[in-house]
Amino acid sequence: MFKLAPSILAADFTRLGEQIALVEKAGADELHIDVMDGIFVPSISFGMPVIQSIRSASGMFFDVHLMITEPVRYLEEFVKAGADGITVHAEACSDLRSTVMKLKELGVRAGVSIKPNTPISVLEDVEALIDRVLVMTVEPGFGGQKLIPECIEKVKELAEHRREIGAGYDIQVDGGIGISNVRRVAEAGAEVFVAGTAVFCGDILQNVKAFKEEIRVAD
């Protein structure tokens, strides 16, 4: 089943609660929350206080994407703030397996993200444990970028590998996902689509509806 996860990084923060309510009303499946520390990636976004404040305003699944160095330091705090699922970057963890084990211990969905140039082989030690692999289709750190076409082949490679080993994780994509390319990425094997600008710029209700219709065709 395909899922749409709008990224609040592209939302209007003067109307954040209202816009979250709109994507929920429109039928979005998850809310994607990008946390950036200015070290692992150049940008700085937001942290636990923002997540905690919007948690009380929404019943959506909070998909928290930690683009921070050594995320294991803060996992408990993000869970307490309201995260339902947490994705960490393989490249940001000195001990990826222990970080994933901590997520499992905390009882949230455990995800691992890989950057465009990171091989899928880095997942080998945690594939049996994780619930999600997030394939970055742009270099992480900034919204509004164009999808890197070669990353579609990476999604296909990961989907084929998943079938071969019988793993149960879902495949998520993030970066430059829009109406014009979401079907192609779905056909490559992705199931969860993060979209920021393509959802929050313009008519949110219509944008979500168009996304849902497009991925329904590919389902």
Catalytic residues: 34, 174
Q: Are 174 and 7 in contact (CB under 8 A)?
A: yes
Q: Are 215 and 193 in contact (CB under 8 A)?
A: yes
For the chain, the 3-state helix, strand and coil shares in percent, each to the nearest 5, are 45, 20, 35
Residue 170, phi then psi, degrees to nearest 5: -95, 165
What are the distances in angstroms from CA 183 to CA 103, 164, 178, 218?
Answer: 31, 23, 9, 6
